[in-house]
Amino acid sequence: MLIQVPKLLSKDQVAHCRHILESAEWIDGKVTAGYQSARAKNNIQLPENSEAAKVLGDIVLAALAKSNIFMSAALPLKIFPPLFNCYQGGHAFGVHVDNAIRQVPGTAVKVRTDLSMTLFFSEPEEYQGGELVIEDTYGTHSVKLPAGDMVIYPSSSLHRVTPVTDGQRLASFFWLQSMVASDEKRTLLYDMDMAIQNLSQGQEDNPAIVQLTGVYHNLLRQWAQT
């Protein structure tokens, strides 16, 4: 399942985040890559423990908590603290699969990476290239979203970032462990939840909607791991 979350951050929030990003110190992006990914990765990112990364991470996490689309699609159990990267001057990230397990630095917390997220801070017209290309059973998808928009996709997917040949691509990337490990089951729950929300507009007391809502929660009760 590949889901776009439009306007996760407002224009003012994007501008504030960009101001922090553009004045921050950057390091080689390979520091958070696994063995295979490090061979394909060429970008820069904020140090995980930097003050800028912590401030920006809090902004992103607060926005996620308010997003109905994100909560419905991801059913998050544990979220890895958001990271922030920059592609410029030919930077790219070759085809790879994200590490299955991530340990939160400085803690004993381990996160199974069920879903990956990329949140864009640069407008598409500000840079050339830099598409996030995701391969799944339905083909290849090229993603380049407006600033403030985010894409969610299975961490098991092969994906890459094409070379940025001009301009600067600023983004946040991170992973989460869902309460429902199966992408197929999460997709069914998301589709059902969206259908219930659409049907409920103006007829919340409809017995059929109440029944469907019960089915949704009973399925979630069976499939969720907490």
> What is the tens place of the pLDDT at every residue in 118-166?
999 999 999 999 999 999 888 899 999 999 999 999 999 999 999 999 9
Pair 125, 156 in one domain = yes
Pair 128, 204 in one domain = no
User: Which pLDDT value is given to residue 34?
Assistant: 64
Give residues with Cβ within 8 angstroms of 19, minimum separation 6: none
Q: Rounded to two decimals, what is the model's pTM?
A: 0.94
Pair 169, 202 in one domain = no
Torsion, CA 62, CA 65, CA 67, CA 70, rounded to 10: 120
At what angle are helices 11-22 and 51-65 packed, to 10 degrees? 160
**171 with 88: CB under 8 angstroms?**
no
Specify the number of domains making up the chain.
2
Instruction: Inform me whether the pLDDT recorded for 29 exceeds 90.
Output: no
- CATH code of the domain containing 212: 4.10.860
**30 with 14: CB under 8 angstroms?**
no
Pair 153, 218 in one domain = no
- CATH code of the domain containing 155: 2.60.120.620
Alpha carbon of residue 117 to chain centroid = 1
Pair 64, 126 in one domain = yes
Pair 147, 162 in one domain = yes
User: Which pLDDT value is given to residue 13?
Assistant: 98
Pair 84, 188 in one domain = no
Pair 157, 189 in one domain = no
Q: Which domain does 55 fall in, by range?
A: 3-178
Pair 200, 111 in one domain = no
Alpha carbon of residue 19 to chain centroid = 21
**Token representation of residue 127:** 């840079």
